[in-house]
Amino acid sequence: MGGERRAGTRSRVPYSSRSEGLDSNHQYLGRIRCHEVTNPGGFGPPLTPWVGVQTLTHLNPINMCVIIIKQKTNLIPSEVLENSARINPHGLGITFLDTFETTYHKSTDYELLLTERPFIAHFRYATVGAVGLSNTHPFVCGEQSHELLMQNGTIKGLGTKAKCDSKVLAESLGDLPRAQWKDELEQHESRFVSINTKARTFQIYNRDLYTKQDDVWYSKANVLQDNVVAVYGTLKRGHGNHHRYLRSARFVGAGVTQDKYPLVISGLPYLLSNKGTGHNVEVDVFKVSDSDFDSLDQLEGHPIWYRRQETPITMDDGSVVNAWVYFNDTDSGEIGSEKYHHTYAVKPRRVFYSAPIIPFSLGPTDPDLRPSVLWDEDEVAQDLAEIESNDSPFCVECYNDLVKEEFPGGTYACTGCGGSFTEDEVLKFNF
């Protein structure tokens, strides 16, 4: 029923011995023990009777930013580049390997990478330091103007409110003999690339943490979203589990199951696999990375508790896609004895905060290290007045407040999840 996912061309290098306790994407694993118990009050199916592994992926600093290294003339799919810009919206730096010229851009300029030219590119997600071109990778290494550095990750305790940790590291790295760089950089759990524009060479550090697909190196794999899933319950947009598990996923669209299925809502929703009974169930369809797919399997207890099946979905535009859907038949009871539903439509609660607005609050807890947007005082006052008069524009992903950014131009940033929205999207969802 729940066949294995389609094999791809991706090769992932096994993690090294020093990363014990981390998964193959170098993310922390917190083990949890589960017992076979009945859900209190009889709401929904019994709780998962298996010993699982909970992957804490979305708050890991290594999930922030991505470095892409393309050495050949092959084209990177536009969707991968768009994912990179969407997930990492705070600046794009490119070093073209045919000329070793470096240019800096907004992340929304990702189409510059739709080229046969070889390059190394860095998309930034701000965790430390201001958002702007001054903190866009790569950085000059001290006085050695021909040496540049890119980083995917965060070094705890390094950086200031104005200057990101990678820039501080690059400045200090220039004071070290070049032969010591490898030992210095590889003591950190980050991915690095150094570029020598004089010798026209580059070096990858912590290469075992990279993912290689179609002869392109990626410092993290969450931009490679090849798995299609359809969700019907708490993983839908605006619901409790969406932000934790699908924040970085690519939203394909809404639709319904092509066939009828019984959707039971008894506290929590679960779908029975009895085709032909019930309704065409409303779903949200996403493309997810392998690591997010693994997290969903762990959440649902696949294949012991929930079991996923490839299921045809009719999208709102009339097209049909095959997507993985999680079914639970462990507490099906007598078919027809339950009231079946066509959608899980519990309205999420809007949450607003009275605390000062600090953009991109997924960063360090020290307020001096939180990233800031380079506004002047008049712009801040004007934006806050507009937000107050319009009942605080909110994020449709996590329902925290939005603030308008100066960079990238014309977008709103979520103070909770760091998501980015256009003005049209804000108007559509808020007013």
Q: Which residues are the active-site residues?
A: 300
Distances in Å between the Cα of 287 and the Cα atoms of 165, 253, 259, 324, 420 are 31, 10, 21, 10, 18
Tell me the two tokens of residue 78: 């536009």
Instruction: Please write down the HEC assignment for all residues of 68-84.
Output: EEECCCCCCCHHHHHHH
Distance CA 236, CA 292 (A): 15
Distance CA 87, CA 85 (A): 6
Tell me the two tokens of residue 328: 């639970």
Please count the CA atoms within 13 angstroms of the CA of 282 that sit on its side-chain side. Answer: 11
Name which of 321, 252, 251, 289 is nearest 8 in CA terms.
289
C-alpha 266: how far from its chain's center? 31
Amino acid at 182: K
Distances in Å between the Cα of 159 and the Cα atoms of 61, 142, 191, 199, 423 are 14, 15, 17, 29, 31
- 8 A C-beta contact, residue 355 and residue 403: no
Amino acid at 206: N
> Residues near 389 by Cβ (< 8 Å), separated by ≥ 6?
none
- 8 A C-beta contact, residue 277 and residue 340: yes
User: What does 32-97 look like in DSSP terms, one character per residue?
Assistant: E-----PPGGG-SSPPP-S-EEEE--TT-GGGS-EEEEE-SSPPPPHHHHHHHHHHS-S-EEEEET
Residue 339 CB neighbour total at 10 angstroms: 10
